[in-house]
Structure 1
Amino acid sequence: MKEIEIQGMTPAHLPQVAELSVATEQVKFVGTMAEILVNIDHAVHPHVILDGDTVVGFFLIDTQYGHKYDFADSATLGLRAFFIDQRYQGKGYARRAVLGLKAFLVSAYPGFHQIVLTVNCKNPAARHCYEQGGFADTHALYLGGAAGPQHIMSMAL
């Protein structure tokens, strides 16, 4: 199995990123690409998951997560909108990307001590993937999600 690579998104990635999508039943968990891309700003950084030159997945890193949510502190990154395109799901990309996330973030975001995410309680497959990649369930729930309660998970960096 080839190694995947995580990179900050560049304008060169945009044509492929614009084509990314998830299955209809998954949209409630991550949204559409158009909905995700409007969140990008100076504090919310887009990233791609690559297999060679092919963009297979996407996620956002929120550097102000700790200022927005009371379950995180100012030295906490937020993982948002993590997904693998529906054409590439079931091939181990998500697991490999989550496993590679810590090393990438330690290098790319020095000064942050942990990463936190929320995963919908109705999405056990995603929760399991995050656990396999080193995230721990905090056993607290975030109740502000549009699609219902979410598990709060964290990983030390």
Structure 2
Amino acid sequence: MRLKFYEEKDDHLIERYTITEAQLRYTMSPKESIELVKQDKNRHAILVLDKDKFVIFFVLHEKEGVKPYSSNEQAILIRAFSTDFYEQGKGYAKAALQLLPDFVVEHFPHINELVLGVNLPNTAAQSLYKKCGFVDEGRRAKGINDELKVISYYIRSEPN
């Protein structure tokens, strides 16, 4: 499994990605997210591929995007995280989140914290993030539909 930055040549994968109305209650579709990425150099669309199968999508948002969630200038926000409907329950989300810290260290070496907002009713996602090392420090933010629990994963920098 690997994480890669979105490129226009990936549009055929985006077209085939299945996201349901139930999922859209908690997240934004890859198509909508990519439109925002194209307008904002601080947003980076990430595709997670299992061999050539596109299974997970999310956006890493730097700088202004993080501010409603963290005062840490070295934090990056994970947003619009979703799993293709037909690939849910296969462990892809957990595997992607476990690969993410190394990906961030490689491509964003100045980042030491991953932040995300998870909808309070979305207990399945909260459980997944907790298993992957995210911590709830009691911060909350306003989401589109629900209040968000703001959680963080701290990237330990290795001494040189």
TM-score if structure 2 supplies the norm length? Answer: 0.88
- Which deviates further from its counterpart, 66-75 or 123-132? 66-75
2:103 alignment counterpart: 104
- Which deviates further from its counterpart, 146-155 or 33-42? 33-42
Deviations 1:90-120 (A, max 9, x none): 1110011111111111111101111100000
CA distance in 2, matches of 1:16, 1:66: 26
The list of structure 1 runs, each at least 4 consecutive aligned residues, that deviate by more than 4 angstroms after superposition, is none
Q: Alignment partner of 1:91: what SS?
A: coil
CA contact (8 A) 1:58 1:83 kept: yes
Q: Which runs of 5+ in 1 are unaligned?
A: none
CA distance in 1, matches of 2:110, 2:154: 12
Distance 1:155 1:70, change over 3 A: closer
Q: 1:67 offset after TM fit, Å?
A: 5.7
CA distance in 2, matches of 1:125, 1:111: 31
1:22 alignment counterpart: 19
Q: 1:8 offset after TM fit, Å?
A: 0.9
Q: Which residue identity does 1:110 align to in structure 2?
A: P
Structure 2 residue aligned with 1:33, among 30, 33, 53?
A: 30
CA contact (8 A) 2:44 2:59 kept: yes
Q: Alignment partner of 1:68: what SS?
A: coil
Distance 1:60 1:23, change over 3 A: same
The alignment yields a C-alpha RMSD, in angstroms, of 1.5
Q: Which residue identity does 1:105 align to in structure 2?
A: V
CA distance in 2, matches of 1:149, 1:124: 13
TM-score if structure 1 supplies the norm length? Answer: 0.90
CA distance in 2, matches of 1:106, 1:38: 26
* Length, aligned pairs only: 153
